[in-house]
Amino acid sequence: MEVKKRLWFMLMITFLITFVVACSDDTDSSSNVGKDGEIAGDLEIQYFVGGYGDSWWKEVIADFQEAYPDVNIIEHAGPNINEEMRSRWVSNDPPDVVYIDGAGSSETQMVEDGQLLDLTEWVAGIELEGGDKLADSFIVKPADYDGKIYSLPLVFDTWGTWYDKALFEESGYTVPTNFDEFMESMSEIKAGEGIDPFVTSGQHPYYFLRGMLYPAFAAAGGEELLADVITGKEGAWSSEQVLEIMKRVETMVEEGMFDSGLGALNHTQSQMNFLLHENTFIPVGFWLPNEMKNDIPEGFDFGFIPSPMNAADEKYAIVPDLRPLAIAQEAENPDAAKAFVEFVFTREYASSFSEHTGAIMNLNGVDLTQNENVPEYLMEANAMINDPDLVQIYEKPHPMSADLETPIGNALISLMLGNMTAEEFVAEAEKAAEEYRTGLE
């Protein structure tokens, strides 16, 4: 009998300890809610600072702080922030909100690793200032992972090919609309200027992959082929359509169109070479003029076209490149995180974003022509992109996983440096896709 009592007593003590701990945990989790259920507590925000700068972020965060005075905002920002915060993510102690952009970040990888919160149901209830649903107001819809949404696309950017309009008008060079014209134009420039016409970042081969090849794949095979190469579908990289496009890259190599030193160039060095007329074409997103604003030579006039890797009978192709906001699955203050994300997505901040960055926020119904501080090149590019007679827009399902993009990028550099043929490249890419698929099983 005494033994039974002792066991009962021990069970009761265990239950009480468990109850106290649970209550303690409940208290901790509710510490992020202030008086009257208002948002409070620490809110950690991670954002990459690159070509768009950080002035827009500073404005939005200051406004949010004013609107939510009980929130203590902790910023993690900078050009190397993805690397600096890696250990936090790996140890399941991430910040609450993350802006996914820049080297070392991969939205798809984060989804595959279970690091991002499922936002599917939550986003359906968000309304903009005019009462319209946010879910219906994106220019390009959020990335789709088997019907689930894990991030909201904040920035509508697109890779394209930049050139100096002033130089082209002065020298009478051709602005190309397809690959044949692109080769003719580069030949003119190589003869007239005595330079290698095309430059990109060899240290970041995804610049060429996303900026030149994605549009070519889309123009040749539509969104189906684009999705197949991004997801590593069996046979996509070794298909006749992909091989034909990689043959165009091989032609550029054989004709000496690539900067011979591109293998050592990071993205800012390649952009500097472009501004100094050491090259004349470069594939970059809308951030280029803003990122290099302190180095633009006098008289330089930015021109932008969709990358002309398309065949002569195909339209220009644009593949939007979205930069999303997401909430960590392990966020300690998800309520404040949701409040911040909802706060950011307004048309007022969309107009402000274009003014600060020279790029476009991913919301429709924003009239940039009414903002005199929005740069002219952005107005012109925006008009061109929205002209269906000139440009076809193709959406990708989601970004390519880093586990696939990295080996394909390595093979791509070998091809651009002349160390690999187009046939060898597609074989290598198909092998990388097979290993990627196996890793997902």
Q: What's the domain range around 72?
A: 40-157+321-386
Task: Give the pLDDT score at 367.
Answer: 78
**Do 204 and 128 fall into the same domain?**
no
For residue 4, being part of any structural domain is answered with no
**Do 61 and 136 fall into the same domain?**
yes
Task: Give the pLDDT score at 296.
Answer: 96
**Do 259 and 361 fall into the same domain?**
no
Q: Nearest CA to 106 among 361, 409, 309?
A: 409
Q: Which residues pair with 283 in a beta bridge?
A: 161
Strands 282-284 and 160-164, bridge-based pairing:
antiparallel
How is the chain split among helix, strand and coil, in percent rounded to 5? 50, 15, 35
Count the Cβ atoms, other than its own, within 10 Å of residue 328: 24
Alpha-carbon span 441 to 422, nearest angstrom: 29
Instruction: Kindly state the tokens that stand for 6.
Output: 């002792």
**Do 153 and 168 fall into the same domain?**
no
- pLDDT, tens digit (0-9, with 9 covering 90-100), for 226-265: 999 999 999 999 999 999 999 999 999 999 999 999 999 9
Cα 44 to Cα 94, 138, 270, 311, 321: the distances in Å are 9, 25, 34, 47, 25
Tokens 């404040």 locate to 336
- φ, ψ of residue 222 to 5 degrees: the values are 70, -170
For residue 135, being part of any structural domain is answered with yes
Strands 391-393 and 316-318, bridge-based pairing:
parallel
Task: Give the pLDDT score at 24.
Answer: 35
**Do 269 and 187 fall into the same domain?**
yes
User: H or E stretch including 353?
Assistant: helix 347-357
- Do 167 and 277 meet the contact criterion of CB atoms below 8 Å apart? yes
- pLDDT, tens digit (0-9, with 9 covering 90-100), for 98-153: 999 988 899 999 999 999 999 999 999 999 988 999 999 998 899 999 999 999 99
Q: What is the 3 state secondary structure string of 217-230?
A: HHHHHHHHHHHHHH
- Do 319 and 214 meet the contact criterion of CB atoms below 8 Å apart? yes
For residue 395, being part of any structural domain is answered with no
For residue 271, being part of any structural domain is answered with yes
Alpha-carbon span 366 to 348, nearest angstrom: 8
- Do 200 and 262 meet the contact criterion of CB atoms below 8 Å apart? yes
**Do 55 and 76 fall into the same domain?**
yes
State how far Cα 113 lies from the chain centre: 18
- φ, ψ of residue 214 to 5 degrees: the values are -55, -50
Instruction: Kindly state the tokens that stand for 172.
Output: 């009478």
Alpha-carbon span 262 to 199, nearest angstrom: 7
Alpha-carbon span 106 to 401, nearest angstrom: 6
**Do 174 and 189 fall into the same domain?**
yes
105: exposed, middle or buried (Cβ count in 10 Å: 0-12, 13-18, 19+): buried
Q: Which residues of the chain have pLDDT under 50?
A: 1-31, 35-36
State how far Cα 249 lies from the chain centre: 24
Instruction: Kindly state the tokens that stand for 163.
Output: 């050139």
Q: What is the DSSP string of 230-251?
A: HHT-TTTTTSHHHHHHHHHHHH
- Do 288 and 302 meet the contact criterion of CB atoms below 8 Å apart? yes
For the domain that residue 70 is a member of, what is the CATH number? 3.40.190.10
**Do 124 and 166 fall into the same domain?**
no
Alpha-carbon span 251 to 245, nearest angstrom: 10
**Do 300 and 343 fall into the same domain?**
no
Task: Give the pLDDT score at 410.
Answer: 97
Cα 121 to Cα 9, 124, 126, 297, 330: the distances in Å are 45, 5, 10, 49, 18
**Do 204 and 289 fall into the same domain?**
yes
- Do 412 and 425 meet the contact criterion of CB atoms below 8 Å apart? yes
For residue 51, being part of any structural domain is answered with yes
State how far Cα 305 lies from the chain centre: 19
Instruction: Specify the pTM.
Output: 0.79
**Do 146 and 241 fall into the same domain?**
no
Count: domains in the chain? 2
**Do 261 and 410 fall into the same domain?**
yes
For residue 7, being part of any structural domain is answered with no
Strands 152-158 and 360-361, bridge-based pairing:
antiparallel
For residue 22, being part of any structural domain is answered with no
For residue 258, being part of any structural domain is answered with yes
